[in-house]
Amino acid sequence: MTTATTKLAIDRLRTLVSFDSTSRNSNLDLVNWAVPLLEQAGARIRLSYDEKRSKANILASFGPNVRGGILLSAHTDVVPVDGQLWSSQPFVLTERDGRLHGRGTADMKGFIACCLASVPHWKKADLHRPVHLALSYDEEVGCFGVPGLIEDLIAHVATPAVAIVGEPTNMMIADHHRGYLAFRTTFRGKAAHSSDPSKGVSAVSAAAHFVRLLEELDAQNAGLTASTTFNVGLISGGSTINIVPSHCEVLWEIRPSADADLSLLKKTAARLVSEAAPPEFAPETQDIVTIPALRPEPRNQASVVAQQFGATLSNAGLPFGTEGGFFQAAGIPTIICGPGSIAQAHQADEWISIDQLDQGCRFMDQVTSWAVASDHQDLNEDCMSSARIGGEI
């Protein structure tokens, strides 16, 4: 049976989906709808903006301003629908056979809807531990919003004890995932008439050599999080067929495993770039995205707490990146757990099942109960107690 909270979550999801918050667009319509809703429930609101002030992060805090609370994190942006064949309007929530279709339903407005449906409970409850809701912008294009949100959090809000990032995992707990490093490398050469290529230096040839060197690393079998993978996504160079190309740009990526040595990876990448081109035409590489991996931690407090809320621990990590690594780098124990499946994300007719939304709402009910608990027991004691009962984490 669908609970009242789940019905409210569906209503909240309907509104969230109606905002075309594709990363290339502003998210302020969504922000300007959500902020009054949160403020009316008594939340303390902090907004942080991008340079153009066309996008904003929301940090909303309920309960006492003390350390030891829980942070629930989600991103507000979605991927484009361009070129996809939808059977219904992508920005109109459509129910079919127990599934709710619409862009962002799985990734990850479903989790936001569960949080917002719990806001009335957080308003009425006597919270002894704070609940923080962190909604960021531009996650889908490089997690560009969350560093500013975390900076604001550290400067103005009592540090949460744990963070839960609500990416779709079918309410399974993932405690690690790969990172993401994206680069733009520009190869340069010397233009010449193609009737005598020896008079020039081909930037395209240097770029092709670099691609071959990457392939020789033989690290293309992802094995979920066990391996580091490399990929070349775009090569663009030259001007016309009868000119030796003097310019070529390569967009490429490294997805480091959760335990990879990033410094060593970057040194290896720099060496390969250098080897691919003549010394007198040194390439230039620009870092365009850096998303840290979420590393597994023994007795992760966030994992223990999420199990108390009814989520199931999974030994599998995630092959994609999230903002989780940023929270972990800030010293906050972090896991990934949310309703829906990543298999439905970024697809035409994206959907989340009502059952998954209901599980997400029941999870939030347990969050509320945990925050209300008045025994004032230290979270570390909570976690040690749970570890003794349930065995090693």
Q: Report the candidate in 228, 218, 216 with the shortest Cα–Cα distance to residue 319.
A: 228
pTM over 0.75: yes
Known catalytic residues?
A: 77, 139
Residues 99 and 189 in one domain: no
Please name the residues in contact with 267: beta carbons below 8 A apart, sequence gap of 6 or more: none
Q: What are phi and psi of 327, to 5 degrees?
A: -65, -40
Please name the residues in contact with 324: beta carbons below 8 A apart, sequence gap of 6 or more: 73, 163, 165, 177, 294, 334, 335, 336
Q: What are phi and psi of 335, to 5 degrees?
A: -135, 165
Residues 170 and 38 in one domain: yes
Chain-centroid distance, C-alpha 377: 31
Q: Percentage of residues in the chain with pLDDT exceeding 70?
A: 92
How many Å apart are CA 120 and CA 324, to the nearest integer?
27
Residues 306 and 166 in one domain: yes
Domain boundary among 230, 264, 291: 291
Q: Which domain holds residue 323?
A: 4-176+294-390
Residues 197 and 150 in one domain: no
CATH number at residue 163: 3.40.630.10
Q: Percentage of residues in the chain with pLDDT exceeding 90?
A: 81
pLDDT of residue 315: 66
The 10s digit of each residue's pLDDT in 40-65 is 999 999 999 999 999 999 999 999 99
The 10s digit of each residue's pLDDT in 88-137 is 999 999 999 999 999 999 999 999 999 999 999 999 999 999 999 999 99
Tell whether the model's pLDDT for residue 387 goes beyond 70: no
Residues 59 and 128 in one domain: yes
Please name the residues in contact with 19: beta carbons below 8 A apart, sequence gap of 6 or more: 27, 29, 30, 33, 91
Residues 222 and 134 in one domain: no
How many Å apart are CA 344 and CA 105, to the nearest integer?
9
Domain boundary among 291, 318, 334: 291
CATH number at residue 249: 3.30.70.360
pLDDT tier, 386 (very low <50, low <70, confident <90, very high otherwise): very low
Residues 150 and 198 in one domain: no
Q: What is the radius of gyration, based on Cα positions, of the chain?
A: 23
- For residue 348, count other CB atoms closer than 10 A to its CB: 14
Residues 141 and 285 in one domain: no
Q: What are phi and psi of 203, to 5 degrees?
A: -70, -30
The 10s digit of each residue's pLDDT in 301-337 is 999 999 999 998 886 788 888 999 999 999 999 999 9
How many Å apart are CA 364 and CA 9, to the nearest integer?
11
Indicate the average pLDDT of the chain: 91
Residues 193 and 308 in one domain: no
pLDDT tier, 375 (very low <50, low <70, confident <90, very high otherwise): low
Residues 351 and 217 in one domain: no
Domain total in the chain: 2
Q: Contact at 8 Å (CB) between 77 and 140?
A: yes
Domain boundary among 274, 291, 308: 291
Q: Tally helices (H) and strands (E) across the chain.
A: 10, 15
Residues 157 and 238 in one domain: no
- Which residue stretches of 251-310 are H helix? 262-275, 301-308
The 10s digit of each residue's pLDDT in 216-268 is 875 444 344 567 888 999 999 999 999 999 999 999 999 888 888 888 888 88
The 10s digit of each residue's pLDDT in 146-166 is 999 999 999 999 999 999 999
pLDDT of residue 266: 84
- Which residue stretches of the chain are H helix? 4-18, 28-40, 110-124, 146-156, 203-215, 262-275, 301-308, 324-329, 354-372, 379-390
Residues 48 and 161 in one domain: yes
